[in-house]
Structure 1
Amino acid sequence: MPGGRPRSFDVDAALDRALEAFWRQGYEGTSLTDLTTAMGINKPSLYAAFGNKEELFGKVLARYLGGPGAYVDEALNAATGREVIERLIHGAIDLTAGEGTPHGCLCVKTVQASGPEAHAAHRDAVAARKAGEVALRKRLEQATDLPSRHEPATLAALVHTVSDGIAVQAAAGRSRAELRRIGNLALRALLD
């Protein structure tokens, strides 16, 4: 039985372009026309290769977490709890206010601006955020160098809150230098 026509486009390149479109405009702000234009394919090719918009977003979210968002896993492997938190805060700044990337965070944008038709994307973005916070809490439970006044679950939630705030501020136009000053102040408040 024939397998159909071979794809005439690079799937990885198309996913990268879809990632950028979703990252710039958020899930709901990105139409199918935006996606097909960015990806350089037509709608039938999008559906055949990636499924519907929700399924494409799921693939893009995984690509984001394993690509630009990989700094989180790297930070969790730092030697000390202090280094973990510093790398997470600085990584959030670099990711969300970096040169050549959309400003803001794909997950935060999706969680903030999601109506009923974006339920699956919202759920997936929230799940990714929660999984990151759980992983951070577990790592902080192992740390012996952090101030004893901090309970790991609350500290993990606070670090995520600061990171999310950084992403919102980056999307609103704050410069990397401004965010670095804000992040450093947050680190002193958390760790001193």
Structure 2
Amino acid sequence: MTTSTSKTVLSKNAASKRVTAKSEAVKSRGRKSTFDRDAALNTALDLFWRHGYEGVSIAELCLAIGIAPPSLYHAFGSKSDLYRDVLRLYAAGNLTAEEIAETSSARDAVQLMLERGVEKVTQPDKPVGCMISSGMLMVGIENREMAAELRQMRAEFRNMIETRIANDVKAGLLPDTTDPASLARFYATVLQGLSVAAVDGATRGELDAVVIAAMRAWPAQ
């Protein structure tokens, strides 16, 4: 190969490398950053909390999260699966069975439940109301299964309170005439009412007053 030919080949190779490098740089700039699942869940949480399950479309979720529908389905499975993940994230801050068991009495557990409920539904930087207490109360036929899952979540929480009350009856901290199931349902109903009242515009102070009034209905020891 002549010197002239060698230089030409080297020049073409160098030019080709520059084009390839430039192409890769453009692709790199246009490529999305690594998908942040936690950020996506928090974005979906805000949308579902504000507008409800049926009030948020796949298109709106994709636009807010910043991904295409196939990517959303790949990451979460379906809209309903994404909603389930969101509910788990939301419920992480709720009163747990361990916390209920560790309270000194069922009365303290119920009061803590209501006080925390007021805090949850009146956060200044969050949507009002409770996703679980008020979630999917009235839905279309196609979403009955999801609504049933939320009812089950509410029932499980009510059952935890009922168990705590029943333990206090056995321990003699509450009268034998106390009906744990009815008492638990009463306070679970108050908890749901706090959420509805918050959505209707009740203030933190007004809901605190409701909690004080509700605790006066506690059976005399």
Q: Shorter-normalised TM-score: what interval?
A: 0.7 to 0.9
Bigger relative contact order, structure 1 or 2 (CA pairs below 8 A, ≥6 apart): 1
Contact 2:53/2:136 (8 A) holds in 1: no
Shift in alpha-carbon separation, 1:76–1:31, aligned structure 2, 3 A: farther
Report the equivalent of 2:178: 150
**Bigger mean CA deviation after superposition, 113-122 or 170-179:** 113-122
Contact 1:81/1:146 (8 A) holds in 2: no
Contact 2:106/2:161 (8 A) holds in 1: no
Report the equivalent of 1:134: 159
Report the equivalent of 1:39: 65
Question: Are 1:30 and 2:56 counterparts?
Answer: yes
Structure 1 residues 35-114: aligned runs within 5 Å: 35-66=61-92, 68-69=93-94, 71-73=95-97, 74-114=99-139
Offset, 1:109 = 3.0
Name the aligned partner's letter for residue 157 of structure 1: R
Offset, 1:72 = 4.3
Normalised TM-score (structure 2): 0.77
Offset, 1:37 = 2.7
**Bigger mean CA deviation after superposition, 155-164 or 12-21:** 12-21
Shift in alpha-carbon separation, 1:13–1:60, aligned structure 2, 3 A: same
Question: Are 1:187 and 2:212 counterparts?
Answer: no
Offset, 1:35 = 1.7
Normalised TM-score (structure 1): 0.87
Contact 2:133/2:191 (8 A) holds in 1: no
Offset, 1:189 = 2.1
Offset, 1:160 = 0.6
The count of corresponding residues between Structure 1 and Structure 2 is 186
Name the aligned partner's letter for residue 49 of structure 2: W
Unmatched segments (≥5 aa) in structure 2:
1-31
Contact 2:122/2:203 (8 A) holds in 1: yes
Bigger share in helix: 1
Q: Helix, strand or coil for the counterpart of 2:152? A: helix
Question: Are 1:15 and 2:41 counterparts?
Answer: yes
Report the equivalent of 1:162: 190
Task: Give the aligned CA root-mean-square deviation in angstroms.
Answer: 2.1
Report the equivalent of 2:3: none
Q: 2: CA distance between counterparts of 1:7 and 1:180?
A: 45
Name the aligned partner's letter for residue 192 of structure 2: D
Contact 1:82/1:191 (8 A) holds in 2: no
Offset, 1:108 = 3.0
Contact 1:26/1:109 (8 A) holds in 2: no
Name the aligned partner's letter for residue 215 of structure 2: L
Shift in alpha-carbon separation, 1:134–1:32, aligned structure 2, 3 A: same
Unmatched segments (≥5 aa) in structure 1:
1-5
Name the aligned partner's letter for residue 156 of structure 2: A
Q: 2: CA distance between counterparts of 1:52 and 1:118?
A: 13
Q: 1: CA distance between counterparts of 2:39 and 2:108?
A: 34
Identity of aligned residues (%): 32
Name the aligned partner's letter for residue 131 of structure 1: E
Offset, 1:40 = 2.7
Offset, 1:183 = 1.2
Rg bigger for which structure? Answer: 2
Offset, 1:96 = 1.0
